[in-house]
Amino acid sequence: MKAIVVKEKAVYMGRLPYEGDLLEELTKFVVDKGIRGGQIQVIGAVKKTVVGFYDQEKRQYFTIKIDKPMEILSLIGNISIKDGSPFIHAHITLADENGKSWGGHLMAGTVVFAGEFIIRELEGDDLVRAYDEETGLTLWDMK
């Protein structure tokens, strides 16, 4: 296993805008603040959700659309660099009106009802994403 050492630089706590796109709002925030590395968590609720599931054999994401209001039980994610810009990789777990869980790899199209975020800005060497032959994913280049 390989890793880098980072230090906490700042912690942001804030609210997501009503009917904002969850992934796009978070991305806009980290790009505006110039955050190149970090950790994200969100709780709240959504009006609808779009997540992905990566098919390891076909090496592509399948999109799952969930068109109903749900609670965000947990969103965790990280910030690193992809194609020269801050990039968010986040996974989300949601609950429906029966308390049943849904989730996946967060994609654009998830509409916020209410959301509280905490973003930890971490400083150290940049973690840069590069294409990984073994998985077909764009992973942290740790060579």
Binding-site ranges for Zn ion (CB under 5 A): 105
The residue number whose beta carbon is nearest to Zn ion equals 105
Question: Are 124 and 81 a contacting pair, CB within 8 Å?
Answer: no
What span, in angstroms and rounded, lies between the C-alpha atoms of 81 and 84? Answer: 6
User: Which CB, 105 or 120, lies closer to Zn ion?
Assistant: 105
Residue type, 74: S
| Among candidate residues 36, 103, 95, the one with its CA nearest the CA of residue 76 | 103
CB of 89 to Zn ion, least distance (A): 6
Q: How far is the CB of 59 from Zn ion (least distance, A)?
A: 14
The nearer residue to Zn ion, 93 or 123, going by C-beta atoms, is 93
Q: Which is nearer to Zn ion, 36 or 105 (CB)?
A: 105
C-alpha 118/C-alpha 139 separation (Å) is: 24
Q: Which is nearer to Zn ion, 75 or 119 (CB)?
A: 75
The CB-of-97 to Zn ion minimum distance in angstroms stands at 26
Residue 77 CB, nearest distance to Zn ion (Å)?
A: 9
CA distances from 82 to 71, 119, 129 (A): 29, 18, 5
